[in-house]
Structure 1
Amino acid sequence: MRFASFTHDGRQSFGLIDGDAILDLGSLTGSGLRQALAAGLDNALARKGEARRLPLDALTLLPPIPDPARIICVGRNYLDHLTEGKNADLPAYPGLFLRFASTLTGHRGPILHGPASDNLDYEGELAVIIGKPGRHIARADALGHVAGYSCFMDATMRDFQAKYSATIGKNFPSTGGFGPWLTTSDAVGDPGEGLTLETRLNGATMQSSSTAKMIFDLPTIIEFVSVFTPLEAGDVIITGTPEGIGRARKPPVWMRPGDVVEVEIEKVGLLSNTVVAE
């Protein structure tokens, strides 16, 4: 199943994707997708027969979870990405940084190219959305806490990242493309078995890899994160990017206003964003 958050006629809601339409569940539950996950999606699905059917092309898609309490990102999580960054030393534990919810933009939403830097890079990544809350989650139980998956464009101001920190370089407004929807975990399976991940810039493939190449797999990440913070329904974990980033190319490839950047992940979906001058 696939669930999306959206706006329609000035109203925000969420629903179940059904072909070329969405069944508007939010108008029945009076909640967003994060709240519906916390209450149990079965409660919302039990009323899908009452839901209004809205055509997808009449909606503006939002990030699947527009208001996550936590967006936890993993850096340096693919070996080939370490190598292209001239640092092949394997990390001993997942390196984490945080994103703000205000940096998110949905499918077909803008990635803002700010005036402070021309070094806007792309990073295609798998996003994990928590469905079952927990603390001190055992590795063996970790995937049972996942509601589903989405695509993420972790657009980064590289000079700010290098000079200050990943948190600063990755928290410019509207630089976190997220979508197009949440695909439930039963439809995707275990990402550790390998999902093809591709990033394309203006139609040219820039990154092509598999989630099986993660240094720290998803159960390890969830176990590690849940030691220091309780995970809640709707929390988002971004799992790292593979090789092929613009900074590592000679000459470097930076995104410019007018560019179209896409992230496509097998079984999950296709996220598309256009770079727009802020």
Structure 2
Amino acid sequence: MKLARFTAGGHTRLGKVVGDSVVDLGAVLPGIGDSMRLLLEQLDGFRDAIEAVAAPAFALADVMLEAPITDPGKYLAIGMNYQSHVDEAAAAGVTAPKTQIWFNKQVTCINGPFGDVDVPRAGPDKVDYEAELGVVIGKRCRHVSRDQARSVIAGYVVCNDVTARDWQFRSPTFTLGKSFDTHGPIGPWITTDDEIADPHALTITLELNGEERQRASTGDMIYDIYDQIAYLSEVMTLLPGDLIATGTPAGVGIAGNRFMKAGDVVRVAVEGLGAIENRFVDEA
């Protein structure tokens, strides 16, 4: 299934995407409203009803797709997780990590798949893109083994881990540089895990103003998705709706000293999951 949040007629709803349409799930999800997190907490119980419902439906062209989840408990992201990105960072004098390196993106950064992204007025002049595969946790879990890790995944989204590089490097943690409002576009929907044969065999690409800047296979990760979940769950309880951004390949803007300015358009696509596209604008 492809589970979405969408706005039509001034109302935001949960839906499932089927071809070029989205089916309103409101009638079969009592008490859920438009919270994807609440749906994921109860997805096993609702799955049959969601799969059966066929109406009412809206043309995708007539609705606004929203961020598929806006209220996760956590948005975690791993750094330097593609060898190609490690290599380009090393060329700039950045030391390669010897373990998994994690940081937070504060959840207020979350943005829709086609929402505008701010070039902040706070002063960063080095706003960058990072194409990533996002994982959405589906079950409360702790101390998950690598072999069990796939069983706790609800599905996948396309992410752009927008980064204010100057703020990123001001402090020992990356959180501030990763967490500006609007700097977490995700979507266009959650593709459930059962639709993806192998999440480590997907092509990920990024285009800046129509020019391809990043291309890789998700199989090129240094620490794959199951390693990541096992590692994180040794430290903390993962909850339904939690987001994990799994790293970016080579081709980020900082490697070529090319940063975002108002008017730039960035499109990120992941094979089998769809694409998100965001215009950068000066913050009002």
Q: TM-score range by the shorter chain?
A: over 0.9
CA-based RMSD of the aligned residues comes to 1.6
User: Which consecutive segments of 4 or more residues in structure 1 shift more than 4 A?
Assistant: 87-90
| Matched residue type, 1:208 | R
Note the 1:1-12 alignment, pairs <5 A: 1-12=1-12
The separation in 2 between residues aligned to 1:37 and 1:98, in whole angstroms, is 21
Note the 1:21-100 alignment, pairs <5 A: 21-29=21-29, 30-31=31-32, 32-43=35-46, 45-46=48-49, 48-49=52-53, 51-86=55-90, 91-100=97-106
% same residue: 37
Q: Deviations over 1:206-234 (max 9, x none)?
A: 01111111110111100011111111111
Deviation of residue 57 (structure 1)?
Answer: 1.9
The separation in 2 between residues aligned to 1:154 and 1:125, in whole angstroms, is 7
The answer to whether the Cα contact below 8 Å between 1:25 and 1:44 also exists between their aligned partners in 2 is: no
Question: Quick one: which of 104, 109, 114 aligns to 2:120?
Answer: 114
The separation in 1 between residues aligned to 2:53 and 2:167, in whole angstroms, is 50
Deviation of residue 257 (structure 1)?
Answer: 0.9
Deviation of residue 269 (structure 1)?
Answer: 1.1
Question: Quick one: which of 173, 181, 184 aligns to 2:189?
Answer: 181
**1:137 and 2:144 matched:** yes
Question: Quick one: which of 189, 192, 197 aligns to 2:204?
Answer: 197
**1:231 and 2:238 matched:** yes
Deviation of residue 174 (structure 1)?
Answer: 0.3
Residues 27, 104 of structure 1: alpha-carbon distance in 2 compared, 3 angstrom cutoff: farther
The answer to whether the Cα contact below 8 Å between 1:5 and 1:66 also exists between their aligned partners in 2 is: no
> How many residues are matched?
275
The separation in 2 between residues aligned to 1:75 and 1:189, in whole angstroms, is 25
Question: Quick one: which of 270, 273, 278 aligns to 2:275?
Answer: 270
Structure 1, gaps ≥5 residues long? none
1:257: which partner in 2? 262
Deviation of residue 88 (structure 1)?
Answer: 7.7
Range moving further from structure 2, 16-25 or 198-207? 16-25
| Matched residue type, 1:258 | G
SS at match of 1:163: coil
SS at match of 2:247: coil
Deviation of residue 190 (structure 1)?
Answer: 2.5
Deviation of residue 44 (structure 1)?
Answer: 5.0
